[in-house]
Structure 1
Amino acid sequence: DATNIFDTPAVSVITPVDYDHLEMLGPELSKIAWEKAGIIKADRPVVCARQRDEALAVIEAEAQAVGAPLTLVGRDADIWRDRGRLMVQASDRLLDLPPPALPGPHQFDNAGLAALALLALDDPRITEAALGRGAETATWPGRFQRLKDGPLGRLAAARGSDLWLDGAHNPHGAEALARTCAEMGARDRRPLVLVVGQFARKDPRGFFAAFRDLPLKVIATTFDSPTALSPEALAEAAAAEGLPVATAPDVSAAVALALTGGGPPPRVVICGGLHFVGEVLALSPETWPS
């Protein structure tokens, strides 16, 4: 959220503004949008994702005040998925790109926004083929990352389960993760278990609310930080949203618990925060991208 490193950025990009870091940015969505709009600079292009009206009004006003040309998805450009392909409608062309390598329906929006930002550079070297290669080869550790190696990955593989790692930690991220899990569940109806660890300053009930319509089990745990929620406090928030929940003292114990019992091998998703994700990745360099 430090947006003022460069006075004259080549292009500024604003992803969907939602409620997060309220202790520093909020609590109103308009206040958060005002902070995010600090990335808008005089006479420099801005590419902006679809926004709630309250946030959009602030972003549009700031762009107009400093004379920054604004490209708004849904008004000046569009992004959609068509038969598995990523379609990006810019002001002067229609791009038909391969699907992004990163899992989840929200990654189509992210990849499309990145493509529009690159087009705003107006560099002849950035061809449609280059954009396609970027979409289909991008990697992002901790964003619905499949863990096949490392101690936890091997533990899951021995049970016949698949193990995933995602940094979602706020309600907006939880909604994206829930949609991804729902899409995967529609193709493969194995049981779903969420292993969750969060900071105390987050909104755990808002996070868990995104999963109320999914058949799943939650295992609440914690990580090495004095400001992490206890498993018991996290479990209370999950139970308040009507989710079945158990507790475990750490992520290794939580994954082991998720894999116990009879029935089909579950799909296990570790999530809840980037600090928590970092602790999981630190268990083994085998999980790091090459």
Structure 2
Amino acid sequence: MRDFARSDHPGVQAQLDRLGQLSVPDGRLGLETTRALLLRLGDPHTQLPPVFHVAGTNGKGSTCAFLSAMLEADGKRVHVTTSPHLVRYNERIRLAGRLIEDDPLAALLAEVLDAGEDLNPSFFEVTIAAAFLAFSREPADACVVEVGLGGRFDATNVLEPDVLAACGIAALGIDHERFLLAPEEGVPKDPISRIAFEKAGIAKDGVPLVTLSYDDGSTREIEHAVMRSGATLKMRGRNWNMDGAGAELNYSDQNGLLELPLPAMAGQHQAENAALAIAMLRHQDRIPVTPEALSQGMRTAQWPARMQRLADGPLAKQREVWLDGGHNRSAGEAIARHFNGQRVHLIIGMLDNKDPRALIDPMAERIASLTAVPIPTHASHPATAFGSSTKGASDVPAALSALPDDGLPVLIAGSLYLAGEVLRLNHQIPA
């Protein structure tokens, strides 16, 4: 999968051009290529500070944001790798709280690409190898690593128990069906159980696997994965709990009760993501984190394009405009809860391999108008895919200009690639 990365730095762009030529051979699954590439680089993934490894369909990126904010609030130096990037490829590699600089990024990518030239690695395999190599060379107290796709065969899953502090699984839903629901012998047939099976593939011997609570089928697959791997399961409702419905977040586990502020990030679902981060920190023994740091991290954690209200800028101006990269039904349900009955103008852009009804069905009663826009440099659904009442616009600025000035908020959603374009146009480049 190509991510069409672009850079104003000639050295970085030269390496991104090389990355853009990579593709995964049809039918190739497994971690062998990633391991072979890392071996040539000196196995940097074995030389990392304690790692927090997070999978999930929705919320894993936000959970990573809470983890890094809480650890940094405790004075820790934290390396982070997440995907995809929104505007700049540099967003994928954060070293001790700062995005990797252009010059070292260009050199790093060249080193990794040169080492694996005959291995035919994928875009993401090279990216993860580069992140781990950078992490191994820069001192830090912890690493936070977001799974890219699935878990079992994700390039990040080369991480072994000796570097892992805790693994976590956020909310589950149906997404990336082409890859995660591909026919295979010996895997669950029920779609959501199969998703759970893939995500739980990150479980490792002796490492806490911290999860939310799920339906019976998903829970069974996670329990089976724990038994196969030797991990220790720490599930919400069994080993820890939370209540974020009131004016504060109440978290409890065997170590007692914490009364914490609600997350600064918008959306009721962020309380669950924050609680998962807290549970991961509280159920490991590699890095102590104080309750005061947990509380501060709740207030300071930020995650662009996840129910983000745009600042006044070339796009938003003085109108209430929200941005979310969600593109599956679970995301649609979370967005609908956030608006809590309020009607919104929805500007949507979705890749053509996504379900066009995934967002609009859960939000149906809240949509005052629906406008479809293309996603630059990506194949996306036309307006007709979203229903006969959907209008089309050439781009987001045109869609915004055509909306009535009726005081209703605007939501731009459907793709993280579209979200990145919106942030660029509104001069809100993630830093």
- Note whether the superposition's TM-score is higher than 0.5: yes
Q: 1:76 to 1:163 in 2, by over 3 A?
A: same
Alignment of 1:97-108 (within 5 A): 97-108=260-271
Please report the TM-score for the alignment, with normalisation by the length of structure 2.
0.59
Question: Does residue 360 of structure 2 align to residue 205 of structure 1?
Answer: no
Cα distance in structure 2, aligned partners of 1:16 and 1:124: 25
Distance of aligned partners of 1:215 and 1:230 in 2 relative to their CA distance in 1, 3 Å threshold: closer
The count of residues paired between Structure 1 and Structure 2 equals 268
Mean Cα deviation higher: 37-46 or 215-224: 215-224
Counterpart-to-counterpart distance in 2, 1:14 and 1:270: 27
Deviation, 1:245, is: 3.0
Match of 2:203 among 40, 48, 55: 40
Q: Could you say what secondary structure the match of 1:100 adopts?
A: coil
**Range moving further from structure 2, 80-89 or 62-71:** 80-89
Instruction: Give the SS at the match of 2:412.
Output: strand
Q: Secondary structure at the match of 2:249?
A: strand
Matching residue within 373, 398, 412 for 1:253: 398
The answer to whether the Cα contact below 8 Å between 2:325 and 2:415 also exists between their aligned partners in 1 is: yes
Partner of 1:268: 410
Percent of paired sites with the same residue: 34
Alignment of 1:70-149 (within 5 A): 70-122=233-285, 125-149=288-312
- Residues 205, 229 of structure 2: 8 Å contact kept: yes
1:15 corresponds to which of 149, 152, 170: 170
List alignment gaps of at least 5 residues for structure 2: 1-148, 183-190
Cα distance in 2 for partners of 1:36, 1:122 equals: 23
1:6 aligns with 2:148: no
SS at match of 1:36: helix
- Tell me the CA shift for residue 119 of structure 1: 1.0
Moved more, 30-39 or 110-119: 30-39
- Give CA deviations for 1:62-101 in whole Å, capped at 9, x if unaligned: 1122211111112221111253101111122111111101
Kindly state the Cα deviation for residue 5 of structure 1 after the two structures are TM-superposed: 3.3
1:223 aligned to which of 353, 358, 375: 375
**Structure 1 segment 158-197 matched on structure 2, within 5 A:** 161-182=319-340, 185=342, 191-197=343-349
**Offset at residue 130 of structure 1 (A):** 0.4
In the alignment, the residues of structure 2 paired with residue 34 and residue 124 of structure 1 have an alpha-carbon distance, to the nearest angstrom, of: 28
Equivalents in 1 of 2:282, 2:363: separation in Å?
A: 36
Give the whole-Å Cα distance in 2 for the aligned partners of 1:43 and 1:246. Answer: 54
Partner of 1:24: 179
SS of residue paired to 2:315 = helix
More displaced 10-residue stretch of structure 1: 119-128 or 219-228: 119-128
Report what 2:21 is aligned to. none
Once the two structures are superposed, what CA deviation does each residue of 1:3-38 show, in whole Å capped at 9, x if it has no partner?
403112210000121100001002622222111111
CA contact (8 A) 1:221 1:248 kept: yes
Change (3 A) 1:215 1:222: closer
Q: Aligned partners of 1:123 and 1:212: how far apart in 2?
A: 46
User: Which residue of the partner structure matches residue 188 of structure 1?
Assistant: none
What residue identity is the alignment partner of 2:428? T
Residues 182-217 of structure 1: CA deviation (Å, up to 9, x unaligned): 17x3xxxxx511111001111111321101232522
Deviations 1:82-133 (A, max 9, x none): 5310111112211111110100110011111111111122357401110000
Distance 2:326 2:245 in 1: 26
Shift of 1:231: 2.5
Q: Aligned partners of 1:104 and 1:90: how far apart in 2?
A: 24
1:153-197 residue CA offsets vs partner (Å, 9 max, x unmatched): 22xx1xxx20111111000011101101117x3xxxxx5111110
> C-alpha distance in 2, partners of 1:280/1:139?
17
Deviation at 1:149, TM superposition (A): 3.2
Amino acid of the structure 1 residue aligned with 2:397: S
Contact 1:19 1:26 in 2 (8 A): no
TM, length-normalised to structure 1: 0.87
Q: Return the offset for 1:255.
A: 1.4
